[in-house]
Amino acid sequence: MSAGKRASTALDRVVDVGGLIAVFGVQYVASRFVPSSGGVSALIGALGLLLLGGTLVAKLVELLGLPHLTGYILTGVVAGPHVLALIDTQTVQQLAPVNTLALALIALAGGAELRLEQVRRGLRSLVIATIVQTVAVAVLVGGVLMLARDLVPFTRSLTTGGVIAVALLWGVVATSRSPSATLGILSQTRAKGSLTNFALAFVMTSDVVVILVLAGAMTIARPLLEPGAAFSFHAFSALGHEIVGSVSIGTTLGMLLAAYLRLVGKQLLIVLIALGFGATEVLHYLQFDPLLTFVVAGFVVQNLSDQGAKFLHALEEMGGVVYVVFFASAGADLDVPLLRTLWPLALGLASVRALTTFAAARVSSFLAKDEPVLRRWAWTSLVAQAGLTQGLAAVIEREYALFGGQFRALVIANVALNAMIGPVLFKWALDRSGESKAPSPSLSDAEAA
């Protein structure tokens, strides 16, 4: 790099730091000395802080080789109610609709990034990796929790059968991954290659697998926790309804989107917003899985029509801004006091999960005769956890009142660690493997689009 370019880059970073101080300073003054009217004004202020602050912090952490997601999350943590309290808990909760839109866009983009030909080429690796990862992580991570029962507050008073049930549930939850983190990293790096294709296919299909496995685990766990309870296949029936319905609606939605793109092709921003908010609520009401529905819809547009490129372009135009707010608000929602309390146990369990994921990836790559890049780096895309994992924990909390609340708290602590470490590992692997192509567009680029 020439001296002129280095000076320009250094000046840009100084400007970024100055802008960051100004953004946080204005919000600090407003939160401390200006009477709060709450409501819409507080929400707009929070959105502005997370969007501008997250973008500026992302530029700064990029100098350290860290992914933009890390900057977004750090911004939320620092600005959130548990550190500087520039954003209060109520305002964080009001950001939930933004997260709903973000998850819809993430799922649509994930499905649209899956090319049928790529899935076919990597099907052997995908199937073997899914089986090995699911079995190894569920058994080993669950087994460690069972051995550490005296260190876990909510297992000390349970019978041996109860501990086995909790360990089984914990092991299944540990098999969940983070499509949102994976797509966020790929959006930044514009990566292409075998590792990218494997990561996309694995994390997007693993959602279906983990939901299915959890239904089976809950069916087995109930008699162990409640000796008088009968073994029931009701959970499988409900799961079948959810999966078949989600795939059917997703297929129909994908065909409708493809037809709209071909015949109209305008006002896509409004269409995507309507889908993100309206369709999600309808799917929840019908008890279908929005994430699976949108993944299928994106897949249909990409692979069963010629509108895939146009569709992905529209999603990328929105994603540049939505990703910032989504991950920054996730950081603001992070329960820092809880993490401070549970971090030793959470760190131990997260470490076991990461090591098991690494070992299972090596075994599955050997069995599938994968190319070297997958043998070396595939595991890095499987560490991060996010919204799906917390959703599974919420289901367990609702079903098992005896320990569900404490179980979910420990899950959240683990998710916090994995959400910070996983994206860093995956970006590092993409950079080292040579699949990273270009930096993501800046905020001004996203706005210009």
Q: Which pLDDT tens digit goes with each residue over 372-408?
A: 999 999 999 999 887 677 777 877 887 788 888 888 8
What phi and psi, each to the nearest 5 degrees, are found at residue 148? -95, 25
| pLDDT on residue 39 | 65
Q: Which pLDDT band, with edges at 50, 70 and 90, does 448 fall under?
A: very low
| Domains along the chain with CATH numbers | 3-94 (no CATH), 98-448 (1.20.1530.20)
Q: Which pLDDT band, with edges at 50, 70 and 90, does 239 fall under?
A: low
What phi and psi, each to the nearest 5 degrees, are found at residue 266? -120, 165
Can you tell me the distance from the alpha carbon of 308 to that of 418, in angstroms, rounded to the nearest whole number?
Answer: 32
Q: Which pLDDT tens digit goes with each residue over 91-147?
A: 888 887 777 787 788 778 878 877 888 778 788 899 999 999 999 999 999 999 999
Q: Which is more confident, 38 or 138?
A: 138
| pLDDT on residue 27 | 80
CB 75 within 8 A of CB 432: no
Q: Per-residue pLDDT for 13 more than 60?
A: yes
Q: Which pLDDT tens digit goes with each residue over 160-200?
A: 888 999 999 999 999 988 887 887 888 778 888 889 889 98
| pLDDT on residue 99 | 75
What phi and psi, each to the nearest 5 degrees, are found at residue 439? -65, 155
Burial of 449 (0-12, 13-18, 19+ CB in 10 A): middle
Among 161-170, 240-249, 315-324, 420-429, name the one with the lowest average pLDDT: 315-324
Q: Which residues contact 3 (CB under 8 A, 6 or more apart)?
A: none
Can you tell me the distance from the alpha carbon of 205 to that of 202, in angstroms, rounded to the nearest whole number?
Answer: 5
Q: Which two tokens stand for residue 262?
A: 């071909």
- CA 404 to each of CA 348, 363, 397: distance values in angstroms, whole numbers, following the listed order: 20, 34, 4
With pLDDT > 90 as the criterion, what percentage of the chain qualifies?
A: 20
- Helix residue ranges, H only, 148-233: 160-174, 179-189, 194-225
Give the 3-state secondary structure percentages of the chain, helix then strand then coil, rounded to 5.
80, 0, 20
